[in-house]
């Protein structure tokens, strides 16, 4: 390991120990593997075969990556916390650079990764280089942040992307993406990405010097979420003993997202209405595309009062009950990502 990498690892050890204590195993693993990838010591492997679709993959990745993601569908019936990742393209004068802001719901643990998208001039293959930002770097000017982060990126830890049907897949080479782990000794990093439509999967795996995977690997199946705007109405006599028969209480216009979070409803005077709407896209049966699941939640009891499945291509989501009505309309970005 070079003197620069050894000094960097020594400087980061207290922060790594703190993360290990305060974060869940999954988030700690993402942090540890991304940061320590800067310690890779082996040279880059030989050139990859030329991919004639490299430029198309480059453009597709650039266009598809930005957005709000979560693994709510992956974890909705489990005890594991949901991971939210917001990906945005930074304003730079050169190649596309993306900021991945990750957060665990509940604990609120956050991390920030930088990914550079490059086109390899020799193989014409789209590549992603990555590293993790430290917390104290987030307040620095962007150009300084990128300069510092790029110094930690090692060519041996690059994700080479190629097409496979309607997916674009890539992974690091564990033979070249190697580093000295403070606990496990000589370690390699395998990171896989798969991008397709409105899905993104990320798998991170540590392997010891003989190639045995760590039991604490992390795998995220992420959906890119869609934004909706709408209104709701509740019939007063259905929820209030003193409610006037036939009178409906209308909500403020509100925005929601199909990420499984509950949107609280407020009336025209901004008073809580006691109910919320939960919107998610979940698979009903194996092999089917995920459907919208629109649920009415009683905020006092926390129970779902009613729900309805709606087809995945629907751009207007309506729920009409004798005591509750709502209509949500898909919001299309005015200025799509170039």
> Which string of b and e fits 148-187 if b means at least 16 CB within 10 Å?
ebeebbbebbbbbbbbeeeebbbbbbbebbbbbbbeeeeb
Q: What pLDDT, in 10s, does the model give residues 313-329?
A: 899 999 999 999 999 99
Please give the pLDDT value at position 181: 61
Please give the pLDDT value at position 165: 87
Q: For the chain, give the percent of residues with pLDDT over 70.
A: 77
Q: What pLDDT, in 10s, does the model give residues 26-41?
A: 434 443 344 443 443 3
- Local confidence band at 338 (pLDDT 50, 70, 90 cut-offs): very low
Give the DSSP letter string of 235-303: EHHHH-TTPPTT-EEEBPPEEEESEEEEEEEEBTTS-EEEEEEEEEEE-SSTTSPPEEEEEEEETTT--
Output 293-297 pairs: Cβ under 8 A, ≥24 positions apart: 294/319, 294/326, 294/328, 296/321, 296/324, 296/326, 297/262
- Local confidence band at 117 (pLDDT 50, 70, 90 cut-offs): very high
Return the residue matching tokens 């729920």: 319
- Pairwise CA distance, residues 50 & 122, whole Å: 8
Span between the terminal Cα atoms of the chain, in Å: 40
Task: Give me the helices (H) in 23-131, please.
Answer: 25-36, 54-64, 72-75
| Residue 43 predicted with pLDDT over 60 | no
| Residue 184 predicted with pLDDT over 80 | no
- Pairwise CA distance, residues 114 & 100, whole Å: 6
User: Which whole number is the average pLDDT over 137-148?
Assistant: 89
Show the domains of the chain with their CATH numbers: 3-224 (2.40.128.590), 227-330 (no CATH)
Instruction: Tell me the average pLDDT of the chain.
Output: 82
Count CB neighbours of 259 within 10 A.
23
Please give the pLDDT value at position 212: 61
The Cβ-side half-sphere exposure at 4, using a 13 Å CA radius, reads 7
């Amino acid at each position: 390991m070079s003197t620069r990498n050894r000094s960097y690892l020594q400087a980061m050890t207290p922060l790594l120990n703190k993360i290990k204590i305060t974060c869940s195993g999954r988030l700690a693993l993402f942090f540890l593997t991304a940061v320590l990838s800067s310690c890779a010591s082996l040279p880059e492997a030989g050139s990859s075969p030329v991919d004639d679709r490299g430029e198309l993959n480059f453009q597709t990745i650039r266009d598809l990556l930005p957005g709000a993601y979560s693994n709510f569908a992956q974890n909705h019936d489990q005890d594991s916390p949901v991971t939210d990742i917001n990906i945005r393209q930074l304003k730079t004068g050169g190649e596309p650079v993306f900021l991945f802001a990750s957060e665990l719901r509940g604990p609120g643990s956050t991390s920030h990764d930088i990914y550079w998208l490059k086109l390899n001039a020799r193989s014409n293959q789209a590549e992603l280089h990555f590293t993790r930002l430290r917390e104290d770097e987030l307040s620095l000017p962007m150009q300084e942040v990128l300069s510092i982060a790029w110094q930690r990126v090692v060519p041996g830890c690059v994700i080479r992307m190629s097409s496979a049907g309607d997916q674009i897949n890539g992974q690091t080479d564990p033979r070249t993406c190697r580093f000295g782990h403070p606990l496990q000794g000589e370690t390699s990093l395998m990171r896989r990405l798969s991008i397709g439509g409105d899905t993104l999967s990320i798998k991170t795996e540590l392997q010891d010097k003989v190639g045995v995977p760590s039991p604490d690997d992390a795998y995220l199946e992420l959906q890119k979420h869609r934004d909706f705007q709408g209104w709701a109405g509740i019939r007063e006599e259905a929820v209030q003993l003193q409610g006037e028969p036939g009178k409906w209480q209308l909500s403020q216009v509100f925005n929601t997202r199909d990420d499984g979070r509950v949107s609280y409803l407020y009336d025209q005077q901004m008073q809580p209405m006691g109910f919320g709407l939960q919107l998610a896209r979940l698979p009903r049966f194996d092999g089917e595309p995920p459907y919208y699941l629109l649920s009415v939640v009683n905020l006092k009891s926390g129970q779902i009062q009613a729900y309805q499945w709606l087809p995945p291509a629907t751009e207007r989501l309506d729920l009409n009950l004798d005591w509750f009505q709502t209509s949500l309309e898909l919001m299309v970005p005015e200025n799509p990502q170039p």
